[in-house]
Structure 1
Amino acid sequence: MTAAFDIAIVGSGPAGLSAAARAAELGISHVLLEKTDHLSDTIYRYQKGKHVMATPSQLVLRSDMDFEAGKREKVLGTWDTQAAGRKINVKLNAEVKAIAGDRGDFTLTLTNGEAIKAGSVILAIGTQGNPNKMRCEGGDLPHIQYQLDDPGEYVDEHITVIGSGDAGIENALGLAADPEQGNVVTILNRGTDFARAKGANVKLLMEARDGGRINVMTETTPSKVEPGWLVLDTRDGEQRIRCDRIIARMGSAAPRAFVEGCGIEFTSEDREAFPKLSPSFESTEPGIYVIGALAGYPLIKHCMNQGYDVVEFINGNRELKPADEPILEAKFRGLPGRRPVDEWLEFLRANVTILNELSPLQMREFMLDSEVRYYPAGTVVFERNEPGSSLFTIADGSVLVEVNPKDPSITVPIGKGSIFGEVGLISGRRRGATIRTAEDSILVEVSRTAALKLMATVPAAKRAITRISTERQLLQMFGSGLTADDLAEVLETAEIKRVRAGEAIITEGEEGYDIYVIRQGSMVVEKSIGGKPVFLSYLPAGSYVGEMALIDGGRRTATVRAAIKSEVIKLDGDAFRRLLAKKPQLKIKAETDMASRKALTSFVESKKDGFEGVVDMYSSVANFLVENGIGEATDVLLIDENLCVGCDNCEKACADSHEGLSRLNREAGKTYAHLHVPTSCRHCEHPHCMADCPPNAIHRGPDGEVFIDDSCIGCGNCQRNCPYGVIRMDKVPPKKPNLLAWLIAGLGPGPGEPPKKWTEARVSPETPKKAIKCDMCAGISGGPACVRACPTGAAIRVAPEQFLSVARLGE
């Protein structure tokens, strides 16, 4: 005889368990189906002793089951006890393989052949059973695992954790918790930010890194898995490390075949897309509801609230509002018109392109981390050169970009549905233009953390942001009166490619005429002269290459390779050729750029006989500079050792210009031939120091300088993240007597940085340290003090693209 219930709940995780508890409390006939022999398999499979968090803290828990932060074992024990006490009808070892029927008459078929009838079905199955797998060479080797049950089982192993979300961080922390186990633990993050993880977990990871317990590698991905070894693609090129075991925690995706087999549609074809759901959790198959991680809400408290709410909805409670309703009501209170939260959420989702594919549930979570505001016409949203890394979306109205700082009347419009502020988001630079509203507008400001999380979890949002930023980069770079419509065909062919340090995107002598735009990082151009590669030039982000073969025909005339780990936009040569044919001004610009590069090549070839030694020397020096980080610099201090007399005036002037603390170390750093690279900030294109600054105290100034503002809390993350050792943590000494007082009366320690003994006698032991680095003497008349103070002209500050060109040999 087939069992029949009002509600069948599939999956006994936090969401399903909470739903079953609400049904039991209301006296609704129900069954909770769990495929394993225990409740809440997702929590059960957490590593032993794992601390389970109860976030977000501002969200009220609405469930008949208790939950508070604590050890995995305590949480599971509480739920087991309460499930029995509340008489939840649990059926274990009951795996559902199919669901058929209609609202009021569903049939759930189990793998053992048993059938269960139900009026409504709640899917709370999560996604953990469908992990994202490694796809590199060797990704199927037996020492790769996608789950960690007990960190204590592993002793004296080199273990690499791949994945920088909460699961990966917690696994790494567990494996490194007991030093006596002797594990060498490394965690890989393909980006610089830990956008998917909770702040508390990131803090614990950084503490473990600082304590030497975990090796944290950012901007790193696995390239090849070998028995006992792992080959990595890092920002500085390929690296091979010892690796006995890989714990891959790279996220998971919905069991799509099963869910779609139930008649449920997804928001898109992306592997990581979620089912289409109504605000009451009902799917496109009437009578089947989806909650929990499968709905896009992985946090336990969210899941438990959904379990409670969905049963109330099924039971006919149409007045119930989600637990986060008061928080969202407060956010929407200042907007024009009176709309309920659900209508505002749908308004924002429908009108903003990057939010189009979010479900109502995802929209709620997204808005908890964002701010929405009404701006009357003519309101300045932000000013040119303001610090800021948030992203803005236009839900209604439009804005004007003041492209000419000398003439605010020259503007470019950005319409409803689009975004602005992406430069600050991607590069951390100050705002590049003043933006004001062209009409009454509703804008959503998305924090950098929320934007990165959105891009990491919603593929469609990432594609939209990438397309818009690519379009704007091309328009800015090519100019020539181009419009977005002109670029439509070229953008359709655009492909974002990551390039390893040292990898060539163009090889001399090969066929091909695609165009490459450098999106991030930098490239070096080399030509084979006399059988040896000769360094021709350096190309920073914002440059493009490949036009010579496209315009002239023939094979590639030089090799272009990445100076550091970079990103390029590959544009189809045929589409670009058609664009050149339609836009004569663009063709003239391309031909001018090509002529300049041809002249450089001709210059080198003309010097290959009598000037070969000089060319070889320059090529060696240029390669040395690139290998020492100049490839990602925007401004670098160099010292000509042939001219330097060791007076240290540069350091003294730096200290006197910056509260008595020098920002450079002249003697430190590397030297090749007569060229010395001292320890001083390179003001990187994508500063590593910005990646993990809790108060967002690090910004890029109007002239490209990377500086630290007064909100610095002295955590030291920037110092640890800088690969060049140019940031120091120190206490700011008291103000010294002026130079005249020192000369006449002998007051104070004199020019330069004061001796430690003088400082320590005047600074309290409790005085906090703060991060100190070169700011290019921003705001100081005359420019960098180190250069102005050099009596022989040995110290120079240069942009790499100006210095790294063999054409300088002819100057």
Structure 2
Amino acid sequence: MSDHYAIAIIGSGPAGLSACANAIKQGLSCILLEAQPQFANTVQHYQKGKWVMDEPAVLPLRSDLPFHANTREAVLDTWQEHITEQQLNIHYNAEVTAISGQKGNFALHLKADNDETIIYAEQVILSIGIQGNLRQLSAQICDPEISIATRSSDKQRPLVEYQLDDPLAFEGETILVIGAGDSAIENALALAEQNQVLLINRRGEFTRAKQANNDAILQAISQEKLECHYSTRPVSIIPHPHDGNAIQATLKTPEGQAKITCDRVIARLGATPPRAFLEACGIGFPDDNKASAPILNGHYESTVPGLYLIGAVAAYPLIKQALNQGYEVIEFILGHDIAPADEPLLIEKFRRLPAFHSVDTTLDMTRLNMPLLSGLTNPQLREFLRTSEVHYPEPGEVIFKYNDYSNTFFSIIYGEVRISVNREDASQIVTLRQGQFFGELGLISGRRRTSTVYAGSGQQCVLIETPRPTMLKLINASPVAKAQIDQIFVLRAIQTSIAPEIPASDLAAVVYSSRIESYAPGDVIFREGDPGDCLHLIRSGSVTVSRENAGNEVVSSYVAAGNYVGETALLSNSPRSVTVRAAVATETVRLDGTAFMALLDKSPALRKRLETRFRTNLAQQTMAESQPQTGNMISFLVAQGLGEASDVLLIDESLCIHCNNCEVACAATHEGTSRLDREAGPTFASLHVPTSCRHCEHPRCMKDCPPDAIHRADNGEVYIADNCIGCGNCEKNCPYGVIQMTGKKQKHTSLWLRLLFGVEYAKIEAVGEPKAVKCDMCKDLHTGPACVRACPTGAALRASPEQFMERQ
């Protein structure tokens, strides 16, 4: 090993390998230092057979290191071949313990092969990732020195394991998985295929997981594929006192301590970011928040000149992005005039901006004008803007209308917008200006837009429209952004749902004292007889309202997001008269009762409106108690997923003559494949819920679609576009079995069907690759859903849950 190099790269993940490959190609003296005995350690520890995606698809791959979507094993084999062919100068088991010096003369202190040594480099690139320091349970819970033998062999293993290489290696075991993040969820789901899995979640929900994983684990729990213990933590993990091959875990649950016997414990607790090491190197951070990314300029250079950060350590974990950064950082160091790979895309987005000069100046301007985005690094901000759309609306142009079914988020870069907050009073207008944002209500609740927004007059209005997945990623990555959005959400939700006539300044005390609470399906938000000390504004999800009658809980109503519950006890100064439960995973804004009653004292009009609603609710409760069948019907429908539906197909069995016209018409409209199964599905009394898409508020099918082929139309229809690649993720993620994989159909015309339904019938002959199909509510037919139109008796009905509940 030489003592001096032009470039030293620390970390042999995708970013580090790519940087080393380009440095060698450019003739630079370069060393790649890896603390582990293998390259790409994080990828090496993916589950066996994991499919590695090459997203984002819109970006070209610049790196000389080959990469395309494939299994973990194939990707690693390809990289190993390149490392060998190009003779990359990698030194394994070489842990860098400190970096000192300055640009042109950095000193890297190494612990390599049990020897202490120092090497020198003119420039240093850090690509160390964030998975090298896995969090572990404390010694008080589990003694790390104790090991246990498996039942199948005498081979010793630790009581608690912190990685899972191959879930298929275990079969017929009882396995305890501790954690609530993506790794814990993915491990639990994979192990549950052939083992009994118990998942331990310290919280009442899965707050750290990607939405797709959150949906998948909730579905698995509801289908009893595995068991989850919420608000539970391990107290001790020891060898079982009466079985030398088993483990005894003592858990603290909401009901008290419980002991569980299992064969294996896997704890996926995340990793500790290497902030202490980075700060010891002199690298600066924007704030004290542990989740914040280090400060970098547009060329990945840190606050220490000559010290660069790329890949996951720079908050950019996607493999293709990391590969591109590795290539680009070498070009920057050499002084080559190269722009990031996404530069042409960003130029096209921003070229119409007033006084547009360059992408870099636009990034600086965006940070200056949008406090919400000020904490993002250059790579993070570029990704945020690349996945967003830029709009230049004319004065008075409508951005979105009341009742539109969209959930994108808007930031105001220039100009202003005006929001009509009260449909009954057109004079109530809120003006938002540069630096502010809107659309957070639809983003979070998944419900229709609650107001109409249009561009203001005067200065050119420029808006950034950001899709929901990108916003959720921002919220998860930036606590500052999350806090800002939550605060504005609470204010605007109160104005929209409760007090449209009250200015924001008068709501400050209510907003300040509020808090956001989360509930799993079936959780009690408040119970009959509890003190009435607060009001709950439903932020997302839905709830049922019930009352005890003769020892039974009778459901009286269903309340969706955007509404509120709990005002009855507040106004009457009495205990709760009803029980409110989450119908699906639900978030509420808890408004403090004292602050809210003080607001009512200042607003007689608001008090009068709430008192009117209070009397209406009492009448509904009385009617529900006299008609328990209606409450049972609501309970049945909520159990069938109507709590998260926006539109559902229902069939009145007392009217249905089983002619099957609905299925025939559906097939005729959709190239020979019916998107509903009339006979399948449950029935209560005479009400039947066939297998047909519910067009969920937050569609689970949409969460994990690699080509982004699943969309929601303005009227709420969830549909699959032609760019579907047939991967089957949506079919797997849908909890209601309404998506099927089918080939493209050979078309034949049926005169009888054309005369009867006015559509073509596509006869069954599959050609080409399979693709996903599902009900799209016949969105392209102005006459409405063909299944409803074809029903000769009126037995078929498509309606939103609210519309149906109102008819009961």
Task: Tell me whether the two structures share a fold, i.e. TM-score over 0.5.
Answer: yes
Q: Is the 8 A contact 1:384 1:433 kept in 2?
A: yes
Q: Secondary structure at the match of 1:349?
A: helix
- Going from structure 1 to structure 2, the CA distance change for 1:119 and 1:526 (only over 3 Å counts) comes to same
* 2:413 aligned residue: 395
* 1:706 aligned residue: 717
- Going from structure 1 to structure 2, the CA distance change for 1:4 and 1:420 (only over 3 Å counts) comes to same
* 2:777 aligned residue: 775
Q: 1:596 aligns with which of 616, 632, 646?
A: 616
Q: Secondary structure at the match of 2:682?
A: strand
For residue 734 of structure 1, report the CA deviation from its aligned partner: 6.1
The percentage of counterpart residues that share the same residue type is 40
Q: Where in structure 1 are there 5+ consecutive unaligned residues?
A: 207-211, 232-240, 608-613, 738-746
Whole-angstrom CA distance in 1 between matches of 2:249 and 2:636 = 28
Q: Are 2:638 and 1:626 aligned?
A: yes
Q: Are 2:682 and 1:670 aligned?
A: yes
Whole-angstrom CA distance in 2 between matches of 1:583 and 1:140 = 61
- Going from structure 1 to structure 2, the CA distance change for 1:334 and 1:591 (only over 3 Å counts) comes to same
Q: 1:565 aligns with which of 585, 591, 601?
A: 585
Give the 5 Å matches for 1:788-799. Answer: none
* 1:209 aligned residue: none
For residue 169 of structure 1, report the CA deviation from its aligned partner: 10
**Aligned length, in residue pairs:** 748
Give the TM-score of the pair, scaled to structure 1: 0.74
Q: Is the 8 A contact 2:719 2:774 kept in 1?
A: yes
Q: Secondary structure at the match of 1:523?
A: strand
Q: Is the 8 A contact 2:556 2:630 kept in 1?
A: no
Q: Is the 8 A contact 2:181 2:208 kept in 1?
A: no
* 1:147 aligned residue: 163
Q: Is the 8 A contact 1:777 1:785 kept in 2?
A: no
Q: Is the 8 A contact 2:407 2:443 kept in 1?
A: yes
Q: 1:345 aligns with which of 355, 363, 369?
A: 363
Residues 463-517 of structure 1: per-residue CA shift (max 9 Å, x gap): 4444444433322101341234443443334333221221101022233512211
Whole-angstrom CA distance in 1 between matches of 2:383 and 2:524 = 42
Q: 1:437 aligns with which of 455, 465, 486?
A: 455
* 1:236 aligned residue: none
Give the 5 Å matches for 1:15-94. Answer: 15-19=15-19, 32-46=32-46, 56=56, 59=59, 66-69=65-68, 71-78=74-81, 80-81=83-84, 85=87, 88=89, 92-94=92-94
Q: Are 2:527 and 1:507 aligned?
A: yes
**What is the identity, as a one-letter code, of the residue corresponding to 1:337?**
A
Q: Is the 8 A contact 2:7 2:123 kept in 1?
A: yes
Whole-angstrom CA distance in 2 between matches of 1:46 and 1:603 = 57
- Going from structure 1 to structure 2, the CA distance change for 1:106 and 1:530 (only over 3 Å counts) comes to same
For residue 647 of structure 1, report the CA deviation from its aligned partner: 3.2
- Going from structure 1 to structure 2, the CA distance change for 1:732 and 1:532 (only over 3 Å counts) comes to farther
Q: 2:314 aligns with which of 278, 295, 319?
A: 295
Q: 1:482 aligns with which of 491, 502, 516?
A: 502
Whole-angstrom CA distance in 1 between matches of 2:591 and 2:424 = 34
Whole-angstrom CA distance in 1 between matches of 2:746 and 2:498 = 46
Q: Are 2:124 and 1:126 aligned?
A: no
Whole-angstrom CA distance in 2 between matches of 1:22 and 1:710 = 39
Residues 16-70 of structure 1: per-residue CA shift (max 9 Å, x gap): 445456666777676544323444434454566767665556655556x643447
- Going from structure 1 to structure 2, the CA distance change for 1:496 and 1:146 (only over 3 Å counts) comes to farther
* 1:535 aligned residue: 555
* 1:10 aligned residue: 10
Q: Secondary structure at the match of 2:568?
A: helix
Whole-angstrom CA distance in 2 between matches of 1:6 and 1:429 = 56
Whole-angstrom CA distance in 1 between matches of 2:507 and 2:164 = 48
Q: Is the 8 A contact 2:54 2:67 kept in 1?
A: yes
Residues 263-308 of structure 1: per-residue CA shift (max 9 Å, x gap): 3332344443211112232323445332221112223443344345
Residues 234-289 of structure 1: per-residue CA shift (max 9 Å, x gap): xxxxxxx9996677778655222222333333234444321111223232344533
Whole-angstrom CA distance in 2 between matches of 1:625 and 1:196 = 24
Q: Is the 8 A contact 2:182 2:208 kept in 1?
A: no
Whole-angstrom CA distance in 2 between matches of 1:162 and 1:388 = 36
- Going from structure 1 to structure 2, the CA distance change for 1:507 and 1:359 (only over 3 Å counts) comes to same
Whole-angstrom CA distance in 2 between matches of 1:20 and 1:660 = 56
Q: Are 2:605 and 1:585 aligned?
A: yes
* 1:358 aligned residue: 376
- Going from structure 1 to structure 2, the CA distance change for 1:168 and 1:546 (only over 3 Å counts) comes to closer
Q: 2:291 aligns with which of 256, 259, 272?
A: 272
Whole-angstrom CA distance in 1 between matches of 2:733 and 2:607 = 43
Residues 315-354 of structure 1: per-residue CA shift (max 9 Å, x gap): 6x27443344344334333333241221112222332344
Whole-angstrom CA distance in 2 between matches of 1:72 and 1:654 = 45
Q: Is the 8 A contact 1:516 1:571 kept in 2?
A: yes
Whole-angstrom CA distance in 2 between matches of 1:365 and 1:296 = 11
Whole-angstrom CA distance in 2 between matches of 1:428 and 1:312 = 44
CA-based RMSD of the aligned residues comes to 5.5
- Going from structure 1 to structure 2, the CA distance change for 1:7 and 1:422 (only over 3 Å counts) comes to same
**What is the identity, as a one-letter code, of the residue corresponding to 1:591?**
E
Q: Are 2:340 and 1:322 aligned?
A: yes
**What is the identity, as a one-letter code, of the residue corresponding to 1:15?**
A
For residue 395 of structure 1, report the CA deviation from its aligned partner: 1.6
Residues 166-214 of structure 1: per-residue CA shift (max 9 Å, x gap): 98999899999xx9xx7899999969996799xxxx9xx99xxxxx9xx
* 1:740 aligned residue: none
Whole-angstrom CA distance in 2 between matches of 1:74 and 1:782 = 53
Give the 5 Å matches for 1:231-310. Answer: 252=271, 254-310=273-329
**What is the identity, as a one-letter code, of the residue corresponding to 2:526?**
I
Q: Is the 8 A contact 2:661 2:787 kept in 1?
A: no
For residue 424 of structure 1, report the CA deviation from its aligned partner: 5.5
Q: Is the 8 A contact 1:380 1:434 kept in 2?
A: yes
For residue 228 of structure 1, report the CA deviation from its aligned partner: 9.4
Q: Is the 8 A contact 1:186 1:216 kept in 2?
A: no
Give the TM-score of the pair, scaled to structure 2: 0.74
Whole-angstrom CA distance in 1 between matches of 2:765 and 2:563 = 50
* 1:545 aligned residue: 565
Whole-angstrom CA distance in 1 between matches of 2:669 and 2:191 = 44
Q: 2:433 aligns with which of 396, 415, 424?
A: 415
Give the 5 Å matches for 1:361-380. Answer: 361-380=379-398
For residue 101 of structure 1, report the CA deviation from its aligned partner: 5.5
Q: Where in structure 2 are there 5+ consecutive unaligned residues?
A: 145-157, 235-245, 251-259
Q: Secondary structure at the match of 2:538?
A: strand
Stretch deviating more after TM superposition (92-101 or 689-698): 689-698
* 1:234 aligned residue: none
Give the 5 Å matches for 1:100-139. Answer: 100=100, 108-110=108-110, 114=117, 120-131=123-134
Q: Is the 8 A contact 1:680 1:774 kept in 2?
A: no
For residue 788 of structure 1, report the CA deviation from its aligned partner: 11
- Going from structure 1 to structure 2, the CA distance change for 1:796 and 1:143 (only over 3 Å counts) comes to farther
Q: Is the 8 A contact 1:517 1:569 kept in 2?
A: yes
Stretch deviating more after TM superposition (588-597 or 38-47): 38-47
- Going from structure 1 to structure 2, the CA distance change for 1:68 and 1:216 (only over 3 Å counts) comes to farther
For residue 541 of structure 1, report the CA deviation from its aligned partner: 1.7
Q: Are 2:546 and 1:526 aligned?
A: yes
Whole-angstrom CA distance in 2 between matches of 1:602 and 1:732 = 57
Whole-angstrom CA distance in 2 between matches of 1:424 and 1:480 = 17
